[in-house]
Structure 1
Amino acid sequence: MVVATEHTTAGERATDPPPARQGTGTGIGKAPAPAARTGVRRSRTRAGVLLLVPFLALFTWVYVLPIGFALYQSLFRQERSGLGLEAPERVFAGLDNYGRVLTDDAVISGVGRVLLFGVVQVPVMLGLALLLALLLDSAVVRFAGFFKLAFFLPYAVPGVIAAILWAFLYLPSFSPLRVALDIDFLAPGTVLWSTANVVTWSWTGYNMIIIYTALQAVPRELYEAARMDGASPLRINLSIKIPLVRPAIVLTGLFSLIGSLQLFNEPSVIRTITTNVTSTYTPAMAAYQAAFGANDYHYAAAIAVLLALTTCVLSFLFFKLTERRAR
């Protein structure tokens, strides 16, 4: 009886769960104390701040400080006393420079010109970039690497050099295009679109690479499933590829919109071969003319600040519009 009792007790002990492991002083099996969690959280926050310091320093130096300095300069103006023989005196002008900008017909005309430029040129350029990216992503194209390099090569040419190359093609005495197409590329009604052609030639390959990279991230299983369901290549492009690369298209559209508002290099070069491009043809050219042509840096700063605000507002509206259409 004693042996059976001992056997039963041992069996019951065998089925019991093992007792909780006691702490041995090493911290194994114990939840961290609140003080320890706070210390870990602080160390992670400190590490994150240290990683952000280089970016914040560079961002402040090349972006925040120039904008702040432009804001400061835009609040003053230069005044000369007497016959103008004395050194000019800088006086506080408040918002007078901004009032001048808003009533300057040349600046307002330049803003309207670049907005028209962006409305027409940006969709055409992004449409060509999307078409080229879809062609390179298709299975029927051979030597995709060669064509990818060929389409991207114009972006490697600096904007000023590209404008000079196309300027020779626009000149009546040199251009074979003028003879073949019988078009005056430097006429008042066509010089803006001649400039748009240079920009499109230079930047289509860059935008194509961004969209093509987004296409490469799409799982190929989606295409195979669509083909098994009987979808044509056109339907796959319209229903799968284009909707999935919409963020890349929106990104390139935003960059192109900002570039249109900052248009400077191409019209400045074309201005050397025609009188139909003035020194205030775009807002950026107007700011340059005010600063280095008229030595009115305060007025130029006001133009730059208003141009930056316009860019921010239009970029925000562009994001809202694309987000609403995506929904």
Structure 2
Amino acid sequence: MASTTGRPRDSRRRLDQRGWIFVAPFAIVFALTFLAPIGYAVQLSLFQDQAFFGGTAFVGLDNYVLLFSDTRFWSGFLRVMIFLAVQVPIMLVLALVAALAIDSARLHAAGFFRIVIFLPYAVPAVVATLMWGYMYGTNFGLAADLNDLFGSEIRPLSLDWALASIGNIVTWEFVGYNMIIFYSGLRVISGELYEAAALDGAGPFRTIFSIKLPALRGAIVIATIFSIIGSFQLFNEPNILRGLIPNVLTTDYTPNMYAFYLSFGGQQYNYAATVAIVMGVITAVIAYVVQLRGARKGT
């Protein structure tokens, strides 16, 4: 009996060992490309440069205490929060409307419109920002032409409109990406639900609110989380436009720009690591809260 009971345990151990062999390549890459950089950033954030003596010294949480009283960081963080609160809902609503329109049988050439809406996502962020930057120019481009045509003084790159102009670029870039997420969710809805709704006399709007939107709850949560993460990572668009309006888009316009210029412009690697760690924690917490709320509403 002892020998027969020992064989299943031995076989399980062998399977476990083989499983670790298959998982090992991913675990090694994950540790080297994800865990190790985070650990190194945390280590950097616990030190400060010694101006007079050279080298670095361990200061514990002093960098974090300094960051929480840094007005430049919090002004950029507030700016990103405003960007998130305004731009993300507009972008997701536009993407949802586009997905619903393409999924409906009433839109002709749906495949063409799907490609056209998704095409801006294939344009690199640098190219898209430069293209819109030239259109925003008040001495040339589309904004200048509109000013001449209507006798107006539209200044998309002014201090009051710079954040909205960046939001327009980001929306143009990522509406198609989110539309594909929503459209994929719509395509997996069972046709029997539509047939049952038609038999009950449900119209198009009733079908959208009773069948399509509830089925898209998971996709909406995913798109929202991705958009939140992308908003906190805002860097390319303002950093590229900064070449056109350096007095408006300063080096601390967003937290990511602040960390970048602290590190590569000011050689303050330790404090830049602190900014990166704090932003990473804030982003993870907010994304996790959104995921929990979405999961609770789905149950």
Q: Same fold (TM over 0.5)?
A: yes
Indicate yes or no: 2:6 matched with 1:35. yes
- Distance of 1:221 and 1:231 partners within structure 2: 14
The one-character-per-residue Cα deviations of 1:43-98 (angstroms, maximum 9, x if unpaired) are: 3323332232222222211111110000001111111327xxxxx22111111111
| Preserved CA contact (<8 Å) 1:118 1:260 | yes
Which position in structure 2 is the counterpart of 1:134? 100
Which position in structure 2 is the counterpart of 1:92? 58
Which position in structure 2 is the counterpart of 1:280? 252
Instruction: Quote how far apart the aligned CAs of 1:243 are.
Output: 0.7
Unmatched runs of 5 consecutive residues or more in structure 2? none
TM superposition score normalised by structure 1: 0.85
Equivalent AA in structure 2 for residue 194 of structure 1 = S
Could you tell me the percent identity over the aligned residues?
41
The one-character-per-residue Cα deviations of 1:211-267 (angstroms, maximum 9, x if unpaired) are: 111111111111111111111011111110111011111001001101100100000
| Preserved CA contact (<8 Å) 1:125 1:200 | yes
Instruction: Quote how far apart the aligned CAs of 1:178 are.
Output: 4.7
More helix by share: 2
Which position in structure 2 is the counterpart of 1:317? 289
Indicate yes or no: 2:138 matched with 1:166. no
| Preserved CA contact (<8 Å) 2:47 2:60 | yes
Q: Secondary structure at the match of 1:321?
A: helix
- Distance of 1:233 and 1:48 partners within structure 2: 50
Q: Secondary structure at the match of 1:173?
A: coil
- Distance of 2:229 and 2:156 partners within structure 1: 25
**Which of the two has higher C-alpha Rg?**
1
Residues paired across the two proteins, number: 291
Q: Secondary structure at the match of 1:134?
A: helix
Query: In structure 1, which of residues 92, 96, 121 is the aligned counterpart of residue 87 of structure 2?
Result: 121
Unmatched runs of 5 consecutive residues or more in structure 1? 1-31, 83-87
Equivalent positions of 1:5-16 (< 5 A) are none
- Distance of 1:251 and 1:232 partners within structure 2: 28
TM superposition score normalised by structure 2: 0.93
| Preserved CA contact (<8 Å) 2:218 2:294 | no
| Preserved CA contact (<8 Å) 2:235 2:254 | yes
Which position in structure 1 is the counterpart of 2:112? 146
Structure 1 residues 214 and 44, CA, compared in 2 at 3 Å: closer, same or farther?
farther
- Distance of 1:51 and 1:178 partners within structure 2: 60
Instruction: Quote how far apart the aligned CAs of 1:185 are.
Output: 0.5
Cα root mean square deviation, aligned: 1.6
| Preserved CA contact (<8 Å) 1:114 1:261 | yes
Which position in structure 2 is the counterpart of 1:263? 234
